[in-house]
Amino acid sequence: MKPSSSAKSLRLVVLVSGRGTNLGAIIDAAQKQIIQSKIKLVISNQPKALALERAKKAGIPYQIIPSQGRDQQKFFNDLKTAVAAQKPDLIILAGFMKILPRDFTQKFRYKIINIHPALLPSFPGLHAQKQALEAGVAVTGCTVHFVDEGCDTGSIILQKTERLQPGDTEETLSQRLLQKEHACLVEAIKLFEEEKVVLQGDQTLLRKS
Ligand code: GRF
Backbone phi and psi for residue 191, each to the nearest 5 degrees, phi listed first: -60, -40
Q: Taking Cα atoms as reference points, which of 53, 62, 57, 48 lies closest to residue 13?
A: 62
List for the chain the helix, strand, coil content (%; round to 5): 35, 25, 45
Q: Taking Cα atoms as reference points, which of 29, 24, 58, 61 lies closest to residue 43?
A: 61
| Residue to probe by mutation, ligand 1, list 17, 52, 115, 171, most atoms within 8 Å of CB | 115
Ranges of beta strands (E only) in 46-194 are 62-64, 90-93, 112-116, 139-146, 156-163
Q: What is the pLDDT of residues 164-192, one digit of tens each?
A: 999 999 999 999 999 999 999 999 999 99
Ligand 1: which residue has its CA nearest to atom 14? 21
Determine the atom of ligand 1 nearest the C-alpha atom of 181: 4
Determine the atom of ligand 1 nearest the C-alpha atom of 21: 14
Catalytic, 116? Answer yes
The type of residue at 84 is A
- Residue range 188-198: average pLDDT? 97
Q: Which residue has the higher pLDDT, 139 or 208?
A: 139
The residues, ordered by sequence, that sit 6+ positions from 74 with a Cβ below 8 Å of its Cβ are: none
Check pLDDT > 70 for residue 4.
Answer: no
Output the CA–CA distances (angstroms, integers) from residue 137 to 120, 122, 179, in the order listed: 13, 10, 20
Q: How far apart are CA 33 and CA 106, in angstroms?
A: 31
Q: How far apart are CA 164 and CA 28, in angstroms?
A: 28
Position 209 confidence tier, pLDDT thresholds 50, 70, 90 = confident
Ligand 1: which residue has its CA nearest to atom 5? 95
Determine the atom of ligand 1 nearest the C-alpha atom of 142: 4
Q: How far apart are CA 61 and CA 178, in angstroms?
A: 25
Q: What is the pLDDT of residues 68-92, one digit of tens each?
A: 999 999 999 999 999 999 999 999 9
Ligand 1: which residue has its CA nearest to atom 7? 95
Find the 5 Cα to ligand 1 centroid distance in Å. 30
> Would you mind telling me the total number of residues written for the chain in this entry?
209
pTM: 0.96
Pocket lining: 18 vs ligand 1, CB cutoff 6 Å: yes
Q: What is the pLDDT of residues 117-158, one digit of tens each?
A: 999 999 999 999 999 999 999 999 999 999 999 999 999 999
pLDDT at 208: 81
Pocket lining: 22 vs ligand 1, CB cutoff 6 Å: yes
CB 187, CB 157: distance < 8 Å: no
Q: Taking Cα atoms as reference points, which of 158, 208, 151 lies closest to residue 181?
A: 158
Q: What is the pLDDT of residues 7-66, one digit of tens each?
A: 999 999 999 999 999 999 999 999 999 999 999 999 999 999 999 999 999 999 999 999
Pocket lining: 124 vs ligand 1, CB cutoff 6 Å: no
